[in-house]
Structure 1
């Protein structure tokens, strides 16, 4: 499944790595694309959307599924 999340609070490369790592911990096969400037994270994963969103939020970022 493909998911798009709006993520607030990513300000640097460290933030991107933290989000990517959190998602890959949930699904090691996840494909993650991050656009920090747009605050967007695109994920291709078999994990449920709410599980992925929770992983991002647990890193300290505000996250919402994009419409």
Structure 2
């Protein structure tokens, strides 16, 4: 399944790596790609292993705000 989340506060390569890294650590996330210009992240995941709330929490734990 694919989902795009809007993430506020990402401005640089470090932000990109933080968000992608946090998401890729979650079991069930196959891919995470941040688009800094658009302010979002595209996530490919297995919905039987991980849910959107867990992904939002992983991003928020890095210090960013998420709006679906």
TM-score computed with the length of structure 1 as normaliser: 0.88
Gaps of 5+ in 1: none
Q: What number of residue pairs does the alignment pair up?
A: 65
2: CA distance, partners of 1:44 / 1:63:
17
Higher alpha-carbon deviation: 32-41 or 13-22: 32-41
Aligned 8 A contact 1:23 1:30 in 2:
no
Task: Report runs of 4+ in structure 1 exceeding 4 Å deviation.
Answer: none
TM-score computed with the length of structure 2 as normaliser: 0.87
Q: CA RMSD in A?
A: 1.3
Q: Which has the higher helix share?
A: 1
